[in-house]
Chains A and B, each alone.
Chain A
């Protein structure tokens, strides 16, 4: 078993430092040591200037999330030995969740995150019976707003108009709460419901095992049922239409149905691709029992 390990920690005090840097700390691994314990030891014994957030120490307040080797984790819930084993190393790198929002070292200004949460109007609008069945929203109610999912969502990093997985988990809670009577789904589409790229980082990083991607899928399914028009909805629907017609996807029709003629403009490289023969022979392969298969699909659809 490794006894010594090194943490390379992001350090930046905007009031003093010209630019961020990394500082190395050498530590001894103790049994069951968490990253919260490791950072506390550094603070107590090696460097009192190191700044990080620490709360309940029990994985429930959502305060202490940071990035370790590029992924978001709660300091208090994550064991040092586990990640040393995963990365087969004695050296790990710790960063703040968002380097653009650093107040000092690992502490960030969370305003941007809470602004996104506020956008989905996180309160019940209702006069309905309080004794309603809430089982459907049990899981989404577990969110501790630790920001791990949103911090690891690449779409959120590139497009600030996408409110992010945590906000959609919160929205899921109100949309599927039988007591809530407000119409939220159209607004969800405006807030970027179809921007999720299905990368599932949020699913892996959620310390509460909520599966934010699944909650986004639930909301998308509802938006399709409610016929909230969006290219993403047309895109998803084509998979069902193609399946029923051929058994496999009609790629040409998928592009046409999703973006229409705009597709040619959007796919700026279309001509180059066409010249390479990419669009040749892309007719869907038809399955032999497509008629019978269609019948059982329709039965399932009508249930």
Chain B
């Protein structure tokens, strides 16, 4: 049994709600206890461009909340992961660390630097998944898409940014067949509102390279791009939805009907 402070991120709490719901389902079956804390927004890489100190403050507040419970943080959003890890690195600077803690003190919190931030992909126990499988991805080709934020900057990723393999190992555990494609390229989500043409072209460039039955993503932002803004019809599932299907949850329970492209394949 493992236990984490759960950081779904604003996007999976709202627009990509299906990701949060599916994650809670699979974690309950995989003996991962998710503890909800009163977390605030990480700033998504935008807040630090408005005010870098406030960006550190909100992230340090979240770290302190988790530390208070003696828990590490698990997230299901690659951008949150990236932002939190970068904030942690910045807070290694003594003057920033002291400055932010002097503010946190006013709301009864303290950040010590102990908390670890991990993506769900790297918090899963493959042996436990293997022993819990109800259905398998036999004969199904899966494009396991890492995207950019989970692996970059390179020293902070939990897998090799040039040649990551953990996602493929998971797909093989589900008895699926991982395929080769530009799995670490960026989907362009973060400029989708301001420069949609470029973002859509970036997504389509990746999709065009895929020969598979579905693409599986570990970030809800990537999911929006892959599900809603591709010109083809390749089903895109959240990591939590794909695992959920293999653990025997129904499409309805996993809210797969919220995805724009339906995943029709029946699993045995």
Q: Name A's B-contacting residues (CB within 8 A).
A: 69-71, 83, 86-88, 154-155, 158-159, 162, 194-201, 203-204, 217, 220-221, 224, 231-232, 235-237, 239-240, 242-243, 247-249, 251, 255, 258-259, 263, 266-267, 269, 272-273, 276-279, 281-285, 287-289, 292-293, 295-297, 299-301, 303
Distance (Å) between the CB of A95 and the closest chain B CB?
Answer: 14
Q: Known contacts A200-B152, A203-B152, A285-B13; is A240 also within 8 Å of B50 by CB?
A: yes
Cβ-based interface call for B51 (8 A)? yes
Q: Known contacts A258-B193, A259-B193, A269-B260; is A197 also within 8 Å of B53 by CB?
A: no
Q: Which residues of A contact B228 (CB under 8 A)?
A: 269, 272-273
Q: Which residues of B contact A269 (CB under 8 A)?
A: 228-229, 260
Residue from A86, A231, A297, A300 in contact with B163 in the complex, judged by beta carbons closer than 8 Å: A86
Q: Which residues of A contact B49 (CB under 8 A)?
A: 217, 220-221, 224, 236
Q: Which residues of B contact A198 (CB under 8 A)?
A: 45, 149, 190
Q: Which residues of B contact A278 (CB under 8 A)?
A: 15, 258
Q: Which residue of B lies closest to A232 (CB)?
A: B194
The CA-CA distance from A287 to B193 in the complex, in Å, is 27
Cβ-based interface call for B132 (8 A)? no
Query: Are the CB atoms of B152 and A287 closer together than 8 Å?
Result: no
Query: Are the CB atoms of B14 and A204 closer together than 8 Å?
Result: no
Query: Are the CB atoms of A154 and B188 closer together than 8 Å?
Result: yes
Most chain A CB neighbours (cut-off 10 Å) among B188, B194, B260: B194
A154-B202, A272-B228, A293-B107 given. 17 additional CB < 8 A pairs? A87-B163, A154-B185, A154-B186, A196-B191, A200-B149, A201-B152, A201-B186, A203-B152, A204-B161, A231-B194, A239-B43, A239-B50, A240-B54, A248-B10, A248-B41, A267-B196, A295-B106
Query: Are the CB atoms of A258 and B163 closer together than 8 Å?
Result: no
Q: Which residues of A contact B93 (CB under 8 A)?
A: none
Q: Which residues of A contact B152 (CB under 8 A)?
A: 199-201, 203-204
Most chain B CB neighbours (cut-off 10 Å) among A224, A289, A293: A293
Q: Which residues of A contact B103 (CB under 8 A)?
A: 296, 299-300
Distance (Å) between the CB of B10 and the closest chain A CB?
Answer: 4
Residue from B40, B160, B199 in contact with A86 in the complex, judged by beta carbons closer than 8 Å: B160
Query: Are the CB atoms of B162 and A266 closer together than 8 Å?
Result: no
Q: Which residues of B contact A279 (CB under 8 A)?
A: 15
Q: Which residues of A contact B34 (CB under 8 A)?
A: none
Distance (Å) between the CB of B52 and the closest chain A CB?
Answer: 7
Residue from A69, A217, A259, A283 in contact with B194 in the complex, judged by beta carbons closer than 8 Å: A259
Q: Which residues of A contact B186 (CB under 8 A)?
A: 154, 197, 199, 201
Q: Known contacts A236-B47, A278-B258, A287-B40; is A300 also within 8 Å of B190 by CB?
A: no
Q: Which residues of B contact A263 (CB under 8 A)?
A: 193
Query: Are the CB atoms of B162 and A69 closer together than 8 Å?
Result: yes
The CA-CA distance from A201 to B148 in the complex, in Å, is 8
Q: Which residues of A contact B229 (CB under 8 A)?
A: 269
Interface of A is mostly: helix
Q: Which residues of A contact B82 (CB under 8 A)?
A: 200
The CA-CA distance from A205 to B82 in the complex, in Å, is 17
Nearest 10 pairs of A and B residues by beta carbon: A199-B186, A282-B14, A249-B10, A200-B152, A236-B46, A220-B49, A247-B40, A199-B148, A239-B47, A239-B46
The CA-CA distance from A139 to B87 in the complex, in Å, is 20
Q: Which residues of B contact A276 (CB under 8 A)?
A: 257-260
Q: Known contacts A235-B46, A258-B194; is A297 also within 8 Å of B38 by CB?
A: no
Pick 12 A–B contacts, CB within 8 A, sort by A. Answer: A159-B198, A197-B190, A198-B149, A199-B152, A221-B51, A231-B193, A236-B49, A267-B193, A273-B260, A276-B259, A297-B54, A300-B57
| B residues 167-201 touching A (CB-CB < 8 Å) | 182, 185-186, 188-191, 193-199, 201
Most chain B CB neighbours (cut-off 10 Å) among A194, A197, A237: A197
Q: Which residues of B contact A273 (CB under 8 A)?
A: 228, 260
Residue from A83, A240, A251, A281 in contact with B47 in the complex, judged by beta carbons closer than 8 Å: A240
Q: Which residues of A contact B201 (CB under 8 A)?
A: 158
Query: Are the CB atoms of A197 and B199 closer together than 8 Å?
Result: yes
Q: Which residue of B lies closest to A255 (CB)?
A: B193
Query: Are the CB atoms of A242 and B41 closer together than 8 Å?
Result: yes
The CA-CA distance from A299 to B104 in the complex, in Å, is 11
Q: Known contacts A158-B202, A303-B53; is A293 also within 8 Å of B40 by CB?
A: yes
Q: Known contacts A240-B54, A249-B41, A293-B40; is A203 also within 8 Å of B153 by CB?
A: yes
Q: Which residues of A contact B57 (CB under 8 A)?
A: 296-297, 300
Q: Known contacts A242-B41, A272-B228; is A296 also within 8 Å of B107 by CB?
A: yes
